[in-house]
Amino acid sequence: MHDPTEFDDLYASVRDRLLLQTFALTGDLPAARGAVRDAFVGAWHQWRKVSKLEDPGSWIRPHAWSLAQRRHTARIWHRDKSLDEDSKATLDALSRLSLTQRKALLLTHLSSASMDQMGRELGLTDVAAANELQQATAQFAIHRDVPSTSVRIHLEGLGSHIEDTRFPRATIIRRRGTTRRRAYTTLGIAACVGALLGAGAIVHSTGGATPELGSVSAHGAGASETEAEKEQQVEESERHLNVEAMLTSRQVDGVFGSGHRVGAPSTSDNTSGDGLNTACQRSRFADRSGLATLVRTFPVSGSPKSGVVQRVELSASEDAAKKAYAATVQWFTACEEERAQLISAYALNDMADQGTMVMLNTWKKPAQTWTVSVVRSGNLVTTVARRVASRERESVKPFVKLTVEAVTSVCNHPAAGNCPGAKPVARRMPPPSPEGSRGLLEVIDLPPVSGVDKPWVATTPVSAKSNAAATSCDKADFNTKAVKRSLTRSYVVPEARLSSSFGLTETLGEFATPAPAKAFNRSLEERMAACEDKDAAATVTELDRGSDETSSYRIWRVSIEVSETRSVHFEMALVRRDNRVVQLGFVRDGNHEISDEDFRELTLRASARLTNLTKD
């Protein structure tokens, strides 16, 4: 049994000081309190190892800091009405330092760590650590507008805000740590039993000799040491990620041509900076309660400018990993970045438990093409992202191979699930349905408009009592008894100086069965065919058509002469999928237009989005 006295004394003497340090590091008191509590739970879990250290606090502190960084909300102190202005100013000044500088300042002024200890915790030489401390002191003094000699006073001043914070009793902390240890020990025993059962045939064929368990005996001399080792191994393997399992530069080199060279990568736990590693990423972590994260960034030289990022997140459970996977996929398939366009989406079959790949263009200068794979294996979510400063669409085949290598490398982790099979492949699929999808196009589906560098904006869908997508040729009406449900919305670029007629409109109608939907389409096609005969001012040109067993589409360009010197040009498409019909109408503004190929792709995307249609 562990002697609790030493642990209880440490808990009582260290927790308040550690809370002050952790609060100063993040500015988030709830996250700091929870992190300190859980760090002590972890310390009791590994008390055999921790108690032997000269300074057990040196083990607990980095664990608490790491947990708090993962959990805290950015600049939460700005919403804390109980925080005085001096404390807010101190936290603001700290937040403007780099993470390394902040840690150096706190280790120096709020802990008893020596310069050697500080260097070890920061991963720096003594000289480099001293340099970081010097810069941190100077920068804090500037941002806080105080003398550098008063840094400690202002850091200690944060203590007034945490005075009333209460922690669980030491007995509760130890109980939680013991529960965790038992869970991990049970896991280790189950693994050993499985191994022994699997080796049964070998043990049985010992020529009649009675096998001896020796040191494996539960009461043998080596039992205590073995248990401790297993505790440590399970803790490390279950709750941490191995840097050696990340992609290498040589592997990444395979997705680029001969004109590029992949340099040495940098790897972090993604707790410094803003934590945003790719386009469209919405938060530092997809799973804010996750156990660990690794991010590896590969610089790539050559033209066009390129790069690769790999991130791996470890969740505490499979359900949490599923949510992290869904959130990560949503970052890219429903990208909130201005002027991002979803080019294609793929299901990654035979890859692991779940897998999606997408290709996007971000049209803000410099325009970039992103190819992103998101794969879940058990409790692990792996994301691999390639960016190329080009509008050219890159081949997906080499990228699928790189994704296989990335997922295979982390599959040795105890928390991994299924691994890539014999023939992983990317299959084109409709874009995943965004939250609240109603079967209509999303802003991320829309291509750039020539000569326009402002973002598209979509109106709220409404019932199609009128239809702005219709032309004077077809006069399509979706407000009839045959249409059981209808929606319409428009897409405009309000920040650009374009004519009021410019824009795209989509109208959707749902019929009871495919038969009336086909009849509706057929009547509109007949009107388009007869338009030039009925309207001398109209010119109708069919641009494309296609069909399969359950769907069809047709695209026209309609020009209406409104005067001897002026004509209005429309692109119009009709799409049917099963019992649903969509009409797209686009009105240009002079040279501000969508290319024929882009409009065709948009028509096909409208057809694919019909698969997202859900009932109200």
Structure tokens at 285: 């972590």
pLDDT of residue 77: 56
Q: What are the C-alpha distances in Å from 67 to residues 175, 458, 498?
A: 20, 40, 50
pLDDT of residue 83: 82
191 token code pair: 């693994």
- End-to-end C-alpha distance for the chain, whole angstroms: 60
8 Å CB contact between 262 and 220? no
- Give me the pLDDT at residue 211, please: 32
Residues of the chain with CATH 3.40.1000.70: 243-429, 443-612
Strand 261-262, strand 368-377: pairing: unpaired
Cβ pair 130, 145 in contact under 8 A: no
Distances (CA, A) of 107 to 31, 120, 175, 412: 19, 11, 30, 36
Q: How many CB atoms lie within 10 A of CB 516?
A: 17
Looking at the DSSP assignment, which residues form a beta bridge with residue 299? 307
Alpha-carbon distance of 164 to 184, in angstroms, equals 35
- CATH code: domain 443-612 is 3.40.1000.70
The whole-angstrom separation of Cα 39 and Cα 26 is 16
Structure tokens given for 496: 């650009």
DSSP 589: B
Position 488 scores a pLDDT of 96
383: nearest Cα among 316, 283, 313: 313
Which amino acid, one-letter code, is at 514?
A: P
> Helix (H, G, I), strand (E, B), or coil: what is residue 51?
coil
Residue where the block lists tokens 């032309």: 471
Distance CA 394, CA 370 (A): 9
CA 366 to chain centre: 22
Q: At what angle do helices 99-109 and 126-144 cross, to 10 degrees?
A: 90
Q: For 100, what's the count of Cα atoms within 13 Å in the CB-facing half-sphere?
A: 15
Among residues 366, 446, 357, 434, which one has the least CA distance to residue 394?
A: 357
Q: Where are the alpha helices (DSSP H) in 199-334?
A: 200-204, 223-239, 249-252, 318-333
pLDDT at 45: 85
What CATH architecture is 243-429?
3-Layer(aba) Sandwich (3.40)
The Cα 231–Cα 47 span in angstroms is 10
Residue 227 is predicted with a pLDDT of: 43
- Token pair 């069909």 in the structure block, residue: 547
What is the model's pLDDT at position 93?
A: 92
105 close to 136: Cβ distance less than 8 angstroms: yes
List CB contacts of 149: < 8 A, sequence separation 6 or more: none
Question: What letter does residue 482 receive in the DSSP assignment?
Answer: T
Res 365: pLDDT: 82
Residues 6+ apart with CB under 8 A from 556: 528, 540, 541, 542, 543, 571, 572, 573
Helix ranges (H only) for 451-571 are: 514-534
Say what the pTM is: 0.64
Tokens for 354? 């779940």
Binned average pLDDT, 10 residues per bin, the chain of 616 residues: 81 94 90 90 88 89 87 57 85 89 94 88 85 91 91 93 87 82 50 46 40 32 41 51 90 87 91 90 92 93 93 94 96 92 95 96 89 96 94 84 94 88 92 80 93 91 94 95 95 88 94 96 96 91 93 94 81 96 92 90 95 66
What pLDDT does residue 205 have? 40
Task: Enter the tokens of residue 83.
Answer: 């925080």
**What is the DSSP track for 155-195?**
HHGGGGGTTT-----HHHHHHHHHHHHHHHHHHHHHHHHHH
